[in-house]
Structure 1
Amino acid sequence: MSEAITSTPKWVADLRNPPPPKSKSNNIPDPFGFPSSSSALSKKDKAALQTRPQPSPEEMDTLKLKKAWEVALAPVKNLPMTAIMMYMSGNSLQIFSIMMVFMAFKGPIMGLVGTNQAFERFESETNRTKMLQARLAYIAMQFVALALGVWKVNSMGLLPTTRSDWLAWESPRNYLEQAVAAL
Structure 2
Amino acid sequence: MASKWAVDYATLGPETVPKYKIANPTGFDANALQSSKSAAKSSRQNVGQDDHNEVALKVKRAWDVAMSPAKNIPMNAIMIYMTGNGVQIFSVMITAMLFIQPVKAIMSLKQTFERFETPGAAARAQPGADLLLPKLTFIAIHVLTMLLGVYKINAMGLLPTTTSDWLAFLPPKHVLEYSAL
TM-score by length of 1: 0.66
Write the deviation string for residues 149-175 of structure 1: whole angstroms up to 9, x where unpaired. 111111111111111111111111011
Query: 2:62 maps to which residue?
Result: 68
Unmatched segments (≥5 aa) in structure 2? 1-25, 37-42
Query: 1:117 maps to which residue?
Result: 111
Unmatched segments (≥5 aa) in structure 1? 1-31, 34-42, 48-52
* C-alpha distance in structure 1 between counterparts of 2:107 and 2:75, whole Å: 23
Query: 2:21 maps to which residue?
Result: none
* C-alpha distance in structure 1 between counterparts of 2:165 and 2:107, whole Å: 32
Query: 2:138 maps to which residue?
Result: 138
What are the within-5 Å matches in structure 2 for residues 72-111 of structure 1? 72-111=66-105
Query: 2:174 maps to which residue?
Result: 174
Letter in 2 for 1:127: G
**Structure 1 residue 178 displacement after superposition:** 3.0
* C-alpha distance in structure 2 between counterparts of 1:97 and 1:104, whole Å: 11
**Structure 1 residue 179 displacement after superposition:** 4.2
TM-score by length of 2: 0.67
**Structure 1 residue 44 displacement after superposition:** 5.5
Identity %: 43
RMSD of aligned Cα (Å): 2.3
State yes or no: 1:58 paired with 2:59. Answer: no
* C-alpha distance in structure 2 between counterparts of 1:92 and 1:70, whole Å: 36
* C-alpha distance in structure 2 between counterparts of 1:138 and 1:58, whole Å: 24
Query: 1:15 maps to which residue?
Result: none
Letter in 1 for 2:73: L
